[in-house]
Structure 1
Amino acid sequence: MLRPIKSQHKKLTNTDDIWEARIVFGNNIFRILGFFDGAKLIVLNHAFQKKTQKTPQQTIKTAETRKRDYFKRRYKKNE
């Protein structure tokens, strides 16, 4: 039987305002990285199953690259 989903979140240090949500589902722990677009919109842009204490640097770089791409496309659309 699956346990209820539990969630925590924190801002990752030394990143371009990337946040990490920790999701526990059953016996599995997942991480979702994302960022804020203004005060009311959260953009979740990368998910993975974390197996160590430290978030892999390449995973953070992927989230930061996707964030830059998101804002570049968003502002280009509004021109």
Structure 2
Amino acid sequence: MMLRYTVWRLLIFIVALLVLFALQLRGWPLLLLSAVISLVVSFFLLRGPREQFATQLQRKVSERQARAEAYRRAEDDDTED
């Protein structure tokens, strides 16, 4: 999921870069403006994939926390015996 998001971000940056290059912008302003434009466009266009990734990441963190808690309880039960 994250790879697809990264590829889309890069494509948006490249498109912005090419459009600005066609408009005769060169050098650092070309790169900086392309980065800003791609950031803004990505923020709105890629909201869905970003939220899916965040949800997936939160689920994995919750699962790991639950496993860690279960492990701690099992250790506590072992030490009480």
TM-score by length of 1: 0.33
Larger gyration radius, structure 1 or structure 2: 2
The structure showing larger relative contact order (alpha-carbon pairs under 8 Å, at least 6 residues apart) is: 2
Identify the structure with the greater helix proportion: 2
